[in-house]
Structure 1
Amino acid sequence: MFTGLVEAVGRVIALEPLPAGGAQLTLEAFPMAVGESLAVNGACLTVRHAEGSCLHFDLVAETLQRTNLGELKPGDPVNLERPLTPQSRIGGHFVQGHVDTTARLIEIQRHGNGHELRLQLQEPFFMRYIAPKGSIAVDGISLTVVQVGEGWFTVWIVPHTWQKTNLSSRQVGDQLNIETDILARYVERLLQAQGRL
């Protein structure tokens, strides 16, 4: 479990296909132990091999299909967050690290020292879980939804988040990882079980 508060921005060293399918992702991050979890652009990955701050992860076909990790190139910045501990403060919202889909960045508007991003979901089905003032994880960053339209939504980015994450390097047309709020899913499931949906 994560909070969507990015701890650091790492760099991609390599993304190499594996003979049996999937790929191996190598990052410059911070020292971690084999078997530990790390959210990379919001996707929970397990450290397979570690050499100091050089970390290796195996990506299965599902991860490559559902996230933007398969598009990474050497030098690309990635958002990093280690899991919650019992002593952690929850400053964002509960993020599982299970990316639902991606969204295309269709507009960036600067407003004073902040930015507004408009994103269009790859799979419109997930719009049912996105509501104004609700929480959403975009590339692993806990953000508040501002507006919702037909297949799109907007989020505001404060200067600190813009500077301390990979968002400042994003361009129109880029695909960003999206994880909708798990609470919306539980509410939907509960209503279905009660026959109210």
Structure 2
Amino acid sequence: MFTGLIEEVGQMKGITKQGEAMLLVIGAARVMDGVKLGDSISVNGVCLTVTAFDRATFSADVMPETYRKSSLHQLRLGEKVNLERAMQAGARFGGHIVQGHIDGTGQIVSRENDANAVVFTVRLNDTGMLRYVIPKGSITIDGISLTVADTTASSFTVSIIPHTLSETALQHKHAGDTVNIECDVIGKYVDHLLHFRQPESAQPKSKLTTSFLMENGFL
């Protein structure tokens, strides 16, 4: 689990593609402290597993599902990426519950100044995700824990303070760029539980059959 508080901005050092599979090599410093094989690191909001590392880089595989669901396949050499290590038990929880499981992507429609803030408007590629995007609720953009300012029928806005902008790769994003979106997990679970329907074949069969009723004198 992650918090959506970015620890550092890394840089793409190597990208190898084979169909819809990728091997990424990412330059970093802070997240390398105590790193071990198998550790989870969020890269632009996507939870990836460390498969190799040295003093200044770590490698991670991207499988086809992640390739298709996220914007990682659009990364270029030298590009800046947001990095966060998995949260440790007992650590301060400053953002919100972030799984690193991307729900989909969106396109930045506009970037506008608003006094000391910068307002980003993001259009979702899958408008069905909007059911989980609630004004003043939490959302993750490229791994950054943010608060939804407003929504429309196909987009939402977030207002970014100067510190968040300067400390994340979002400072390099502009209209037309693709970003990874993870909606609030609590809303997704509540929605699933409220609307889940088992297949008819999996539902328990009632013992109240016509023959049972006849044999026991009810018919």
Bin for the TM-score computed over the shorter chain: over 0.9
The one-letter code matched in structure 2 to 1:4 is G
Deviation at 1:190, TM superposition (A): 2.7
Q: Which residue of 2 aligns with 1:141?
A: 144
The one-letter code matched in structure 2 to 1:27 is I
Q: Which residue of 2 aligns with 1:22?
A: 21
> Structure 2 CA distance, aligned partners of 1:171 and 1:24?
26
Q: How does 1:51-66 map to 2 (within 5 A)?
A: 51-66=54-69
Deviation at 1:193, TM superposition (A): 4.8
Q: What TM-score, normalized to structure 2?
A: 0.85
> Structure 1 CA distance, aligned partners of 2:87 and 2:187?
21
Q: Which residue of 1 aligns with 2:200?
A: none
Which digits, 9 at most, give the CA deviation of each residue in 1:107-165, with x for residues without a partner?
00101121000000011111110010010000000000011101100000001000000
Unaligned runs of 5+ in 1: none
Q: Which residue of 2 aligns with 1:159?
A: 162
> Structure 1 CA distance, aligned partners of 2:76 and 2:53?
20
Q: Which residue of 2 aligns with 1:119?
A: 122
Q: Which residue of 2 aligns with 1:71?
A: 74
Q: Which residue of 2 aligns with 1:175?
A: 178
> Structure 1 CA distance, aligned partners of 2:159 and 2:187?
21
Q: What TM-score, normalized to structure 1?
A: 0.95
Which digits, 9 at most, give the CA deviation of each residue in 1:17-37, with x for residues without a partner?
137x50101100132221111
SS in 1 for 2:9: strand
Unaligned runs of 5+ in 2: 198-219
Give the % identical residues: 39
> Structure 2 CA distance, aligned partners of 1:128 and 1:5?
24
Which digits, 9 at most, give the CA deviation of each residue in 1:2-59, with x for residues without a partner?
000000000001211137x501011001322211110000000001111112111111
Q: Which residue of 2 aligns with 1:9?
A: 9
SS in 1 for 2:97: coil
> Structure 2 CA distance, aligned partners of 1:14 and 1:106?
29
Q: Which residue of 1 aligns with 2:210?
A: none
Deviation at 1:192, TM superposition (A): 2.0
The one-letter code matched in structure 1 to 2:44 is N
Cα RMSD (Å) of the superposition? 1.3
> Structure 1 CA distance, aligned partners of 2:196 and 2:104?
25
